Amino acid sequence: MTPKAEAVTQDSKDEEAINRQETRLALKRFGRKRWNLIPILQKVQARLGYLPREAMVEIAAYLGIPEIDVYGVVTFYNQFRLNPPGKHSIRVCLGTACHMKGGYITLDAWKRRLDINSGETTADREFDLDTVACVGCCTMAPVTVVDNQPEGKVEPTKVDGILLAFELVREAEKKEAKQ
Protein backbone atom coordinates (compact mmCIF):
# COMPACT_ATOMS: atom_id res chain seq x y z
CA MET A 1 0.00 0.00 0.00
CA THR A 2 1.22 3.48 -0.80
CA PRO A 3 1.56 5.85 2.16
CA LYS A 4 -1.31 7.91 0.80
CA ALA A 5 -3.65 4.90 0.46
CA GLU A 6 -2.67 3.88 3.98
CA ALA A 7 -3.61 7.31 5.30
CA VAL A 8 -6.96 7.07 3.56
CA THR A 9 -7.83 3.68 5.04
CA GLN A 10 -6.75 4.92 8.46
CA ASP A 11 -9.01 7.94 8.04
CA SER A 12 -11.99 5.82 7.06
CA LYS A 13 -11.32 3.45 9.97
CA ASP A 14 -11.36 6.36 12.39
CA GLU A 15 -14.53 7.64 10.83
CA GLU A 16 -16.13 4.23 11.12
CA ALA A 17 -15.26 4.01 14.81
CA ILE A 18 -16.70 7.47 15.45
CA ASN A 19 -19.86 6.60 13.55
CA ARG A 20 -20.32 3.46 15.60
CA GLN A 21 -19.86 5.32 18.82
CA GLU A 22 -22.24 8.10 17.85
CA THR A 23 -24.84 5.53 16.82
CA ARG A 24 -24.56 3.70 20.14
CA LEU A 25 -25.02 6.97 22.00
CA ALA A 26 -28.12 7.78 19.98
CA LEU A 27 -29.53 4.29 20.56
CA LYS A 28 -29.44 4.64 24.34
CA ARG A 29 -32.62 6.66 24.43
CA PHE A 30 -34.69 4.13 22.56
CA GLY A 31 -36.34 0.90 23.60
CA ARG A 32 -35.37 -2.22 21.71
CA LYS A 33 -38.62 -2.28 19.76
CA ARG A 34 -38.93 -2.68 16.06
CA TRP A 35 -41.35 0.23 15.81
CA ASN A 36 -38.59 2.55 16.99
CA LEU A 37 -36.67 1.93 13.78
CA ILE A 38 -37.69 5.09 11.94
CA PRO A 39 -37.19 7.50 14.88
CA ILE A 40 -33.80 5.86 15.48
CA LEU A 41 -32.78 6.30 11.86
CA GLN A 42 -33.83 9.95 12.00
CA LYS A 43 -31.86 10.56 15.16
CA VAL A 44 -28.73 8.85 13.87
CA GLN A 45 -28.93 10.70 10.57
CA ALA A 46 -29.32 13.98 12.46
CA ARG A 47 -26.04 13.21 14.26
CA LEU A 48 -24.03 11.86 11.35
CA GLY A 49 -25.59 13.55 8.37
CA TYR A 50 -26.24 10.19 6.74
CA LEU A 51 -26.61 6.49 7.51
CA PRO A 52 -23.31 4.70 7.00
CA ARG A 53 -23.09 0.92 6.83
CA GLU A 54 -21.72 0.58 10.37
CA ALA A 55 -24.61 2.63 11.79
CA MET A 56 -27.18 0.34 10.16
CA VAL A 57 -25.32 -2.71 11.49
CA GLU A 58 -25.42 -1.29 15.03
CA ILE A 59 -29.11 -0.44 14.77
CA ALA A 60 -30.05 -3.88 13.45
CA ALA A 61 -28.13 -5.57 16.27
CA TYR A 62 -29.70 -3.32 18.87
CA LEU A 63 -33.24 -4.06 17.69
CA GLY A 64 -32.49 -7.70 16.95
CA ILE A 65 -33.78 -7.42 13.39
CA PRO A 66 -32.15 -8.40 10.08
CA GLU A 67 -29.75 -5.84 8.64
CA ILE A 68 -31.55 -6.08 5.34
CA ASP A 69 -34.75 -4.87 7.02
CA VAL A 70 -32.98 -1.71 8.17
CA TYR A 71 -31.61 -1.27 4.67
CA GLY A 72 -35.09 -1.82 3.22
CA VAL A 73 -36.54 1.03 5.27
CA VAL A 74 -33.59 3.34 4.57
CA THR A 75 -33.89 2.82 0.82
CA PHE A 76 -37.70 3.14 0.92
CA TYR A 77 -37.90 6.67 2.31
CA ASN A 78 -36.51 9.70 0.53
CA GLN A 79 -35.57 11.35 3.80
CA PHE A 80 -32.74 8.89 4.46
CA ARG A 81 -29.30 9.27 2.94
CA LEU A 82 -26.84 6.46 2.31
CA ASN A 83 -24.01 8.83 1.44
CA PRO A 84 -22.31 11.53 3.47
CA PRO A 85 -23.44 15.06 2.70
CA GLY A 86 -21.05 17.03 0.49
CA LYS A 87 -19.80 20.52 1.27
CA HIS A 88 -22.20 21.81 -1.36
CA SER A 89 -25.65 20.41 -2.05
CA ILE A 90 -27.00 20.27 -5.58
CA ARG A 91 -30.74 19.63 -5.89
CA VAL A 92 -32.10 19.32 -9.39
CA CYS A 93 -35.81 20.05 -9.71
CA LEU A 94 -37.81 17.45 -11.60
CA GLY A 95 -41.21 18.96 -10.83
CA THR A 96 -43.77 19.26 -13.60
CA ALA A 97 -42.55 22.58 -15.03
CA CYS A 98 -38.88 21.72 -14.74
CA HIS A 99 -39.55 18.31 -16.22
CA MET A 100 -41.19 19.95 -19.24
CA LYS A 101 -38.27 22.33 -19.55
CA GLY A 102 -35.72 19.54 -19.71
CA GLY A 103 -34.89 18.97 -16.04
CA TYR A 104 -33.66 15.50 -16.94
CA ILE A 105 -31.11 16.97 -19.33
CA THR A 106 -29.91 19.25 -16.53
CA LEU A 107 -29.70 16.29 -14.18
CA ASP A 108 -27.68 14.37 -16.75
CA ALA A 109 -25.30 17.30 -17.07
CA TRP A 110 -24.75 17.36 -13.29
CA LYS A 111 -24.23 13.61 -13.20
CA ARG A 112 -21.69 13.74 -15.98
CA ARG A 113 -19.79 16.72 -14.61
CA LEU A 114 -19.66 15.42 -11.02
CA ASP A 115 -19.29 11.82 -12.15
CA ILE A 116 -21.85 10.56 -9.62
CA ASN A 117 -25.46 9.44 -9.67
CA SER A 118 -28.41 11.09 -8.02
CA GLY A 119 -28.26 10.33 -4.26
CA GLU A 120 -24.46 10.13 -4.25
CA THR A 121 -21.57 12.28 -3.06
CA THR A 122 -18.32 13.01 -4.91
CA ALA A 123 -15.25 11.18 -3.60
CA ASP A 124 -13.73 14.45 -2.32
CA ARG A 125 -17.04 15.18 -0.52
CA GLU A 126 -17.31 18.55 -2.24
CA PHE A 127 -20.76 17.94 -3.80
CA ASP A 128 -23.79 15.80 -3.21
CA LEU A 129 -26.43 15.42 -5.88
CA ASP A 130 -30.15 14.72 -5.55
CA THR A 131 -33.50 15.55 -7.11
CA VAL A 132 -36.48 17.45 -5.73
CA ALA A 133 -40.06 17.82 -6.94
CA CYS A 134 -40.96 21.49 -7.45
CA VAL A 135 -39.40 24.15 -5.27
CA GLY A 136 -42.03 26.76 -6.05
CA CYS A 137 -40.34 28.93 -8.67
CA CYS A 138 -41.52 27.23 -11.82
CA THR A 139 -41.16 30.36 -13.95
CA MET A 140 -37.41 29.90 -13.67
CA ALA A 141 -37.51 26.32 -14.91
CA PRO A 142 -35.38 24.30 -15.19
CA VAL A 143 -34.32 24.97 -11.61
CA THR A 144 -31.38 23.65 -9.63
CA VAL A 145 -31.11 24.50 -5.94
CA VAL A 146 -27.44 25.08 -5.12
CA ASP A 147 -26.73 25.27 -1.37
CA ASN A 148 -30.37 26.16 -0.71
CA GLN A 149 -30.27 28.93 -3.32
CA PRO A 150 -32.56 28.31 -6.32
CA GLU A 151 -30.85 28.95 -9.64
CA GLY A 152 -33.05 29.49 -12.71
CA LYS A 153 -32.67 28.39 -16.33
CA VAL A 154 -30.03 25.86 -15.46
CA GLU A 155 -29.16 24.45 -18.86
CA PRO A 156 -26.03 22.28 -19.15
CA THR A 157 -23.87 25.33 -19.95
CA LYS A 158 -25.01 26.97 -16.72
CA VAL A 159 -24.03 23.81 -14.86
CA ASP A 160 -20.49 24.36 -16.11
CA GLY A 161 -20.71 28.00 -15.06
CA ILE A 162 -21.81 27.18 -11.52
CA LEU A 163 -19.05 24.61 -11.14
CA LEU A 164 -16.48 27.06 -12.48
CA ALA A 165 -17.53 29.63 -9.87
CA PHE A 166 -16.97 27.06 -7.10
CA GLU A 167 -13.63 26.19 -8.64
CA LEU A 168 -12.52 29.83 -8.59
CA VAL A 169 -13.52 30.26 -4.96
CA ARG A 170 -11.56 27.15 -4.05
CA GLU A 171 -8.48 28.37 -5.84
CA ALA A 172 -8.68 31.76 -4.16
CA GLU A 173 -8.96 30.04 -0.81
CA LYS A 174 -5.94 27.90 -1.57
CA LYS A 175 -3.90 30.94 -2.47
CA GLU A 176 -4.92 32.68 0.70
CA ALA A 177 -4.01 29.66 2.78
CA LYS A 178 -0.51 29.68 1.25
CA GLN A 179 0.12 33.30 2.10
Q: Supply the minimum distance, in Å, between the C-beta of residue 103 and another protein.
A: 19
Q: Which of 144, 138, 132 is nearest to 106 (CA)?
A: 144
CA 16 to chain centre: 17
Q: Which option in another protein, ligand FES, none does residue 98 bind, with CB closer than 5 to 8 A by kind?
A: ligand FES
143 is a site residue for ligand FES (CB under 6 A):
yes
How far is Cα 30 from Cα 10, in angstroms, rounded to an integer? 31
CA 138 to chain centre: 24
104 is a site residue for ligand FES (CB under 6 A):
no
Q: Which option in ligand FES, another protein, none does residue 67 bind, with CB closer than 5 to 8 A by kind?
A: another protein
Out of 48, 70, 116, 141, name the contact with ligand FES by CB under 6 A: 141
For the stretch 39-68, what's the b/e string if a residue is b when 16 or more beta carbons lie within 10 angstroms of its beta carbon? ebbebbbeebebbbebbbebbbebbeeeee
- Closer by beta carbon to ligand FES, 59 or else 143: 143
Out of 37, 40, 55, 56, name the contact with another protein by CB under 8 A: 56
Out of 9, 75, 79, 117, name the contact with another protein by CB under 8 A: 75
How far is Cα 132 from Cα 79, in angstroms, rounded to an integer? 11
153 is a site residue for ligand FES (CB under 6 A):
no
Beta strands in 136-176 (DSSP E): 144-146, 149-151
Footprint of another protein (CB under 8 A) = 53, 56, 60, 64-72, 75-76
